Amino acid sequence: MKLGVVILAAGQGTRMRSRLPKVLHRLAGRPLLAHVLDTARAIGADRICVVYGHGGELVPQALAAYDCVWAEQAQQMGTGHAVMQAMPSLADVDRVLVLYGDVPLIGADTLRQLCAAAERADLGILTAVLKDPAGYGRILRDAAGEVLRIVEHKDAGEAELGIAEVNTGFLTADRARLNDWLLRIGADNAQREHYLTDVVGLAVADGARVATSRATSEEEVAGINDRVQLAALERYYQTRRAEELMRAGVTLLDPGRFDIRGRLAAGTDVTIDINVVIEGEVTLGDRVYIGPNCLLRDCRIGTGTEVYSNCFIEASSIGAGARIGPFARLRPEADLADSVHVGNFVEIKKSRVGVGSKVNHLSYVGDARIGSGVNVGAGTITCNYDGANKHLTVIDDGAFIGSNTSLVAPVEIGAGATIGAGSVISRAAPAEKLTLARGRQVTLEGWQRPKKRPKT
């Protein structure tokens, strides 16, 4: 049986007070719609159609990497009308499941349960019991507990508003029957819109069997209409992810001050201090320590490495037993071997640093290959850019670079070489020798510092 998924993502989201389409606002660093697309794939959808509208091509452009088809709802005439725009793209599927681009945390297991409940029915709907059901359509049942219809909040009477069970909007149905019901939906309601929920009443009138399944939590069916709701759902998401990591053995010194916006694979006895942000794909080996106020993005950090406070590590690889920071920045393609030390206010970009080498203070290393056992003194700079092209600096094993040295690439420092402090090195420095390049120190007799004229 082929499953087609419709994701409704055409709403304007006026309460967001933003020019950005609502479904492109981010939760855990990713567009709301991306979360829903991932869930649709997780449940095995054979085809996904996203209905977009507000914001024009911004939505399909932002999520062009996803394998789905796009249908435009040029005029927002209700959820029923929106689903109708997707139906031509789903002509070859057997069942249709409707999801929402602004309900990002719907669970794959919950959707599987809904689909299972509807296997022997013509229509399945997902319901929930909410503490505050305001704004949601209410589920009306007969004396036997069978679903009669859904009444929208704005159209509900006093008795109907007292019903706690609500419609979440998620439904699944036989494609052919759903198409027939959609064509028969009217707009006789307070909003003058074609409500998808009217499908339920039409199905009941036709004698179709309506099955229900209940969501396991309020948060997974919570829609986002404004930035307050977005922030609340963000914190719920982060709390849940933090709990998963702690149960897996990661120590979070304060789970309320930890954010993950990607995937984290962590070994045993990993400790993460406060205000750490994880983005992209991050791997931490056993006994890694991450200090406070660090951002890790798409990086691998080896066993026993310690990253001290206020470091930014991006698209980099660090070996075992290294010491990084505080206040260090590793930019893309920084490749650090075991036992490397990178200290405060050091920036490394597109460089390989060998085993046991040290770059401890106030230095910039870019486009370089540094061997093992090298000491790079404070204030050292690899001058890798000539205004048009990048050039390579090579520092061989055991070299010692004195403080405040400028290495003008392309240049090579031989194994065991020593570079005198304050040098500007623009030619190869031979192995095992002292090389320095300094201007001659001069003292001028009789020179006096200029003095300011007294004010009159």
Q: Which residues are catalytic?
A: 361
Q: Give 74's contacts (C-beta < 8 A, 6+ positions apart).
A: 53
Alpha helices in 74-144 (DSSP H): 79-86, 108-117
Residue 418 in 3-state DSSP? strand
> Which residues on neighbouring strands pair with residue 369, listed in sequence order?
352, 394
Residue 164 in 3-state DSSP? coil
CB 323 within 8 A of CB 308: yes
> What does the DSSP assignment read for 328-371?
-EE-TT-EE-TT-EEEET-EEES-EE-TT-EEEES-EEESEEE-
Q: Say how far apart CA 172 and CA 175 lie, in whole Å.
A: 9
CB 435 within 8 A of CB 423: yes
Pick from 448, 451, 419: nearest CA to 432:
419
- Describe the crossing of helices 175-184 and 79-86 by its angle, rounded to 10 degrees: 130
Q: Say how far apart CA 294 and CA 258 lie, in whole Å.
A: 10
CB 16 within 8 A of CB 54: no
Pick from 138, 117, 136, 111: nearest CA to 220:
111
Residue 213 in 3-state DSSP? strand
Q: Say how far apart CA 421 and CA 400 lie, in whole Å.
A: 10
Q: Is 379 exposed, middle or buried (0-12, 13-18, 19+ CB in 10 A)?
A: middle
Sole residue written with tokens 């704004």: 135
Specify the pairing of strand 123-129 against strand 165-174. Answer: antiparallel
Distances in whole angstroms, Cα of residue 351 to Cα of each of 315, 330, 336:
12, 10, 8
CB 54 within 8 A of CB 10: yes
